Chain A
């Protein structure tokens, strides 16, 4: 378990690829610099999509938490 406190959570469980990444990008758009957004996704594609995009956009992927039936991604807006 991570002790990171997110500023906002995007629950994209059930959304098909690329829904979770697009949902995350949408929330990051409206976030302030330094905000941490937690993305919940049960699509395996997110395990590659999210790190690739975070690096491309210069945002930091702080942690990926593996939970029972989904993953939680913590992304800090640059």
Chain B
């Protein structure tokens, strides 16, 4: 099954691509409807749930007190990790973190970290002694394609709702974590020879390489990643970069809308 089905699927996707049609009827640059819920998990200091088609992911933020890294005594730390647990799909097996889940967590981590949306120095309590460690854990519950974008969105939305639990740790009063802007990811997969935005599960199974672009509020790039086997041209990149800009702007509005409610 593992080899045969994708081969047939590839044929079908290639055939559809000739007329620029997608298996689920979407346009080439059209995303699935995104449902974002924030502050949905008790016990997490910040949380978000993202549903995109058959994809469901949760992100939760936790804080811990730790000693700072010796080379950055006045800075807190940020860690973002993703788990592809067997609950999410029959293709995921139990065991230590897979290369796929490590890549996923690190790509999301880079987008958030490099955007500078968190002022690491604001996480310092006593320089050289005590700082906050912020941990974003992403839990994929159902992999229906394009978990990268879902994870990126859940992570930043969760972070933006986070309350620093200072009272519980006896270091002052609770306060809202200051997050400047919202880095958003847009992902593309080559399907039937051309790129499509927000690939579905079938498009990923019968597709080729993928490109993930994370953009900040000002449209600047904060993380890029190419995954899987395949090559692309600068012209192709220029095209998807333009699309990414539009889609990221829309998703950023969605985050703001949810926060306004």
A and B pair up:
no
Interface residues of A (CB under 8 A from B): none
